[in-house]
Amino acid sequence: MLHIIGRGHMTEPTASAERVKVFLAWIVVLIPAGWGVAQVVSKSAALFR
């Protein structure tokens, strides 16, 4: 069972497509998260002025 499902045994095109989906999924959440962190960091700078 495991060797069938394990990622290392997928055909190459499927694996590539899956990698793109993983990348896009992370982009969707990291963009707003990064924007939020940037807002906080810019405000925190006032503490050290």
Partner 1 sequence: MFLDRDHSIAKPGFSRWRVPPAALAIHLAIGQAYAFSVFNLPLSTLVGVDKPAPTDWKLSTIGWIFSTAIVFLGLSAFTFGRWLEEAGPRKAMFCSAMCFGGGFLVAAFGVHVHQIWIIYLGYSVIGGIGLGLGYISPVSTLIKWFPDRPGMATGLAIMGFGGGAMIGSPLAVALMAHFKTPASAGVVETFLAMGALYFVFMMFGVFTVRLPAPGWAPAGWNPASGAGQPNAARRAPPAPDVHVDEAIQTKQFWLLWAVLCLNVTAGIGVLGQASPMIQEMFPGVIGAAAAAGFVGLLSLANMLGRFAWSSCSDIIGRRTTYMIFFLLGAVLYALIPTTGRVGSVTYFVAFYAVILTMYGGGFATIPAYLRDLFGVMHVGAIHGRLLTAWSVAGVAGPVLVNYIREYQIAHGVAKANAYSVTMYLMASLLVVGFIANAMVRPVDASHHWKGAHD
Residues at the site binding partner 1, with contacts judged by CB under 8 A: 1-2, 4-8, 10, 14-15, 18-19, 21-22, 25-26, 28-29, 32-33, 35-37, 39-41, 43-49
Q: Estimate to the nearest angstrom the gap between the alpha carbon of 36 and the chain centroid.
A: 16
What is the smallest separation between the CB atom of 25 and partner 1, expressed in angstroms?
Answer: 4
What is the smallest separation between the CB atom of 12 and partner 1, expressed in angstroms?
Answer: 11
User: In 3D, which of 30, 7, 28 has the Cα closest to residue 19?
Assistant: 7
Give the angle 23-29-39 at the CA atoms, nearest 5°: 130
Per the listing, tokens 């497509």 go with 17
What is the smallest separation between the CB atom of 13 and partner 1, expressed in angstroms?
Answer: 10
